Each structure stands twice: as C-alpha cells, then as structure tokens.
Amino acid sequence: MAPPKIVKGIDCNEAAGAGIRTALTERFDEMYALRHAALKWKDPEGVHSMRVASRRLRSALGDFAPYMSKRFLSAQLKEIRTIADALGEVRDQDVALMALEEMSTNTSPELSKTLHELIEARKQVRDGAREQLKKTLVKDRLKDLRTRFNEALALATPAKSGPDAEISFADMGRASIRDRLRDLEKLSSSFYRPTDPAQLHEMRIAGKRLRYSIELFETCWGSHIARFAKQAAHLQTALGTVHDCDVWIESFRKDVNESRRLGDDKRMKTYNWLFTHFNGIRHKHLTEAFSLWTTWEADNVQGALLEALKK
C-alpha cells in the first residue's frame, strides 16, 4: 500500500477555502486512481489500497466539516460511504481467508477439515462482495461522482462569513490535529478495560483519524510532524489486530455454542482451538499496543506534537 501523497499547491497562510478544495480533490483523485487495481482479484492489496484511500478521503472530509456547508456534499458523501463499505466487505473477507488458509496448513488433519469448510464458506461470501464491488465501481459511475464532487466543493467552501471564513489553512490544521489528539487521549483509559472491545475499537479509530489528519496537514509542517503520523500508525496497527481478534473471538463463541447444541464434538474442538488461538494473538497485540502507549506518554508525544504545530 502506497503512502498518501503530500498535498501540494496550498498556501498554508492563506484563507482555508482554496486549500480545502485542493486537498479534497487530491484525496478523491487518490481513491479514483486505484479503481483498476481494486478490481484485480489476483492481488488483494489493490482493494486494501483503495479502501485506505477512501478512509483518508472521509477523514479529510471530517477534518474540514466545520468549515464547509455539508448540505452541498450530502449526496456525494453518501456515495463515498457506499464505496468504502463495498471495499470493506471484500477486504474483510480477503483478510479472513488469508488467516484461515495459513492456519489450515499448520494444524492437524482433524482440525483442517473444519477450517477448509470455513474457507469455502468465506469464499462464497467474498464472491458476493466482489460482485457488489464491481457494480459499485463502474467506471462511468465513478467518473460522474468525481465531477459532481468537484462541483459541490466549489459550493461548499467557504461556508461562513465573518472571522471564521478567514481562518488560514494552517490554523485549521492546528485545530483539527488538536481535536484528534484530544480524542485519542480521552480514549486511552480503554487500556484499563481490556475486556471491553468497543472502547479499544474506538481508540483504534481515534488513532487512525489522528494519523490521517497529520498526513493531511503535513504540507504545512513537513518533517516537523511527519514522525507523529508514524507513531500513531504503529498504535493503530496494534489495536487493529486486537479488534480483528475480537471479531473472530465473538464469531467462534457463537460457533462453539451452536456446535455444542448440535452435539458436534469435532467442530466444537476446532472452534475451541480457534478461540484459544485468537485469544493468544489478542493478548500479544494488546500488550504491544499498551507498551506503545506507555512510551507515548513517557516521551510526552502529545506535548511534542503540540509544540511542533506552533512552528
């Protein structure tokens, strides 16, 4: 997956409206350019790259939301969410299949039989998700969305009159990154409730949004803030694996109960093994994420980032 392009052509000291249009156009074009790769099934990284690009676009829209009139973009926002959801459905199945296929080669024949059944079931779900993605990413449809999106941007910015309309792109960036940082800090208490998947998932999302916001406004501060995006990405990745495990664990909990109800001891044995396996992975990555966060706090990353934004 390629890193995002640094948005160029923005005067960070000028009023934000033009910069918003430039940045959002760039983020949309990054997503648009990955359409062909996303539909090449032999390489699942194409779907992943376009999915991430769609997330970066939506995150940027969130950063700019207070400074735009969203009513002009409501239809386009809905279509972008539809694209992101369709990409997510395929990507989730790709990831699940890669994990199951790897496990099936390293388990006993008794366990492998049930794993292969799970793999075949997942493939059918993925085939359906791919068909839906093909319909969603029809070239003319996406091209038309691109045109309408750019037209709506011209109407949506600037949204206000008065002092806020004159806020600079850099000042807007400072406000956005501070908000994202504050959200992440608030959710850090999730580590002390490790059995609450929802809270940890919210923290992962907050870390992702902070990372994307820093990447978006890197054009104003360059290397002074770029390293903070990498630190947020490491935390996001570790918490992302924890979330993936939580999804698996909940699924296998249901499967174990169903197998017990049916008296299917062989399947129950496989699901019990999977349940234990993913609990082990979860613990490993939760420990990693907690270590990253304690280092974050010990190094006062929050203070360093806020200080960098003053430059």
Q: Is the pLDDT higher at 157 or at 83?
A: 83
Decide if 230 contacts 264 (C-beta within 8 A).
no
Q: Which helix (H) or strand (E) holds 144?
A: helix 139-156
Give 5's pLDDT tier (boundaries 50, 70, 90).
confident
pLDDT digits (tens, 9 = 90+) for 266-281: 888 888 888 899 999 9
The pLDDT value recorded for residue 311 is 84
Instruction: Give the model's confidence band at 161: pLDDT under 50 very low, under 70 low, under 90 confident, else very high.
Output: very low
Which pLDDT score is estimated for 261?
82
Token reading at 97: 């299949």
Provide mean pLDDT across the span 212-228: 95
Judge whether residue 157 has pLDDT over 60: yes
CB-CB contact of 225 with 308 (8 Å):
yes
Q: Residues with Cβ < 8 Å from 181, sequence gap 6 or more? A: 210, 302, 305, 306
pLDDT band at 160 (very low <50, low <70, confident <90, very high): low
> Alpha-carbon torsion 256, 257, 258, 260, what sign?
positive
Partnered with residue 15 across adjacent β-strands are 168
Which amino acid does the sequence have at 241?
Answer: T
Q: What is the mean pLDDT of residues 199-226?
A: 96
Please state the rounded mean pLDDT for residues 12-16. 92
16-158 maps to CATH 1.40.20.10: yes
Q: What is the mean pLDDT of the chain?
A: 92
Predicted confidence band of residue 191 (pLDDT cuts 50, 70, 90): very high
Mean pLDDT of 53-63: 96
Q: What is the mean pLDDT of residues 191-204?
A: 95
Give the helix/strand (H/E) hosting 149.
Answer: helix 139-156
Q: Tell me how many degrees the CA angle 37-41-46 measures, rounded to the nearest 5.
A: 30
Please write the tens of the pLDDT for every residue from 162-177: 445 578 999 999 999 9
Q: What is the pLDDT averaged over residues 122-140?
A: 97
Chain centroid to CA 287: how far? 21
Residue 168's DSSP bridge partners are 15
The mean pLDDT of 35-63, rounded to a whole number, is 96
Q: What is the reported pLDDT for 301?
A: 97
pLDDT at 270: 86
Q: What pLDDT sits at residue 272?
A: 85
pLDDT in tens, 66-108: 999 888 999 999 999 999 999 999 999 999 999 999 888 878 8
